Amino acid sequence: MQNINHFLEKKLAEISITDENMAKIKEKVKEFFDVLKKYFPEIRGYAFGGSFDRYTSIPNYYDMDIYFIFTNDSVQSLSGNGLRNKLMNILKQLETDDEDEITPFYIKIKKQNQYFHSIPIILDSIKIDCLAAIEIPDQPNTYNIPNGNKVEVSKPEIIKNKIQNLNKHTDGMGTKLIRLLKLWNFTHGKNLKSFQLELLCCYIFIERNKARKFDSLKKGIEIFMDKSLYYMQVKETSFVKGMLDSQIDNKAIIQFKEAKDLILNKRWDNLF
């Protein structure tokens, strides 16, 4: 392959979701919320989360979290998963196979996924993970989320801010790099979660040694593969122990080793 960076830029162009498409999705979600609010006033607002909100999505592989924010008088429903069940019942009332007089959308609740706190749905053709939430007073964009028999605090802005900081120190290359890494992960078995790739990128290029520069996508991928594998194998930092040990298994380590071999043998096309 004569020009690897040209190849990577071409791949990036193929997987980047346009601003126009993102705007259409956001408008569709707003229309859906307007219907929800009309019939179910206990839902007072909504907020985006996941890779869609962080602008690191790629087609057919992205997580769009939507926090459906309930009024504060629903706080007593947080425990025992009552609030999540309330959202589930609302979505079931709207679930349709065809358009009806209540909602102009096709809405289908998907089979429950591994994340018990979310409710996966299809809104027309858009995949959404719905979360019942109550905003914590005096803490903007911070939510209480019911998860089984416990309540978790969610701060979707944390990773988003880290990625913005990464882009600041890499002249906007951070988001591009993450999108390509997600394509690699999707192609080779999805052994890492979306947010894990994002946090690893931020950790390697910003938080470890202030700012680790890379002047091309090729160089960025090479550094990422090398350092990620090292951190996972050595497990010598609190970040790795806290985030990786409990959630990344040997399949991910094998995936990184195979990626390093492909890069070493200049088989970049097989990486994606």
Q: Which domains does the chain have, with CATH numbers?
A: 17-155 (3.30.460.90), 158-271 (no CATH)
Q: Any residues with CB less than 8 A from the CB of 259 and at least 6 apart, and which?
A: 184, 188, 225, 271
Q: Any residues with CB less than 8 A from the CB of 234 and at least 6 apart, and which?
A: 240
Our CA dihedral for 74, 75, 81, 82, rounded to 10 degrees, sits at -30
3-state secondary structure of 254: helix
Per-residue model confidence as pLDDT tens for the chain (272 residues): 459 999 999 999 999 888 898 999 999 999 999 989 888 999 999 999 989 999 998 876 667 899 999 988 776 666 667 888 889 999 988 887 655 556 678 888 987 655 568 899 999 888 899 999 999 989 988 998 887 777 888 898 988 999 999 999 888 999 999 999 999 999 998 888 888 889 889 888 986 556 788 889 999 999 999 888 777 766 555 555 555 555 666 788 889 999 999 999 999 999 99
Instruction: Say how many residues make up the chain.
Output: 272
Please give the pLDDT value at position 263.
95
Among 182, 272, 267, 261, CA closest to 229? 261
Please give the pLDDT value at position 255.
92
The tokens describing 71, both together, are: 């009024």
Please give the pLDDT value at position 260.
92
The tokens describing 119, both together, are: 């409710």
Please give the pLDDT value at position 230.
78
3-state secondary structure of 229: helix
Please give the pLDDT value at position 149.
74
Backbone angles phi, psi at 265, to 5 degrees: -95, 10
Burial class (CB in 10 A: 0-12, 13-18, 19+), 230: middle
C-alpha angle 145-149-154 in degrees, rounded to nearest 5? 20
- pTM over 0.75? The answer is yes
Q: Which residues pair with 118 in a beta bridge?
A: 131
* Residue 148: half-sphere exposure toward Cβ, Cα within 13 Å: 4
Backbone angles phi, psi at 45, to 5 degrees: -170, 180
Backbone angles phi, psi at 153, to 5 degrees: -95, 130
